């Protein structure tokens, strides 16, 4: 990586959010659900050099918690439904949001690391 392409950091993070290589924006970022490709299939950039570690999980918990907890409290204040309603509504929503957001947030973290030239 000799020089950064002329793109903004927002564009680079957006590439990560869409699971694309932060270097070229064309290749896939993941081989499987959260398994980062070793190299970009389009530009050959070494993608495994960006250690996302636990950051994406923490950001995902933060975002999902800020969506689910206020909704849960609001429903309880307005309707006071039985406990089974909370379980059948909030558990699947929490799981779905977590599974949907985690790879996108991990991609954004990898994109940010690429923009800041943070490598392992």
- Which sign does the torsion angle of CA 47, 48, 52, 54 carry? positive
Quick one: pLDDT at residue 120?
83
Quick one: pLDDT at residue 103?
97
- Which pLDDT tens digit goes with each residue over 95-114? 999 999 999 999 999 999 99
- Which sign does the torsion angle of CA 86, 88, 89, 92 carry? positive
Q: Which two tokens stand for residue 81?
A: 């439904």
Quick one: pLDDT at residue 2?
46
Q: Identify the segments of the chain with pLDDT beneath 50.
A: 1-2
Q: Is the pTM of this model over 0.75?
A: yes
């Amino acid at each position: 990586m000799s020089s950064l392409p002329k793109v903004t950091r927002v564009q680079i993070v957006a590439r990560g959010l869409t699971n694309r290589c932060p270097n070229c924006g064309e290749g896939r970022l993941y081989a499987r659900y959260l398994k980062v490709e070793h190299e970009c299939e389009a530009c050959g950039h070494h993608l495994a050099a960006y250690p996302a570690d636990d950051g994406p999980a923490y950001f995902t918990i933060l975002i999902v918690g800020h969506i689910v907890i206020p909704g849960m409290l609001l429903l309880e204040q307005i309707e006071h439904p039985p406990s089974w309603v909370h379980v059948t509504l909030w558990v699947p929503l929490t799981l779905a949001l977590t599974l949907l957001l985690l790879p996108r947030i991990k991609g954004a973290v990898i994109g940010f690391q690429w923009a800041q030239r943070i490598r392992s």
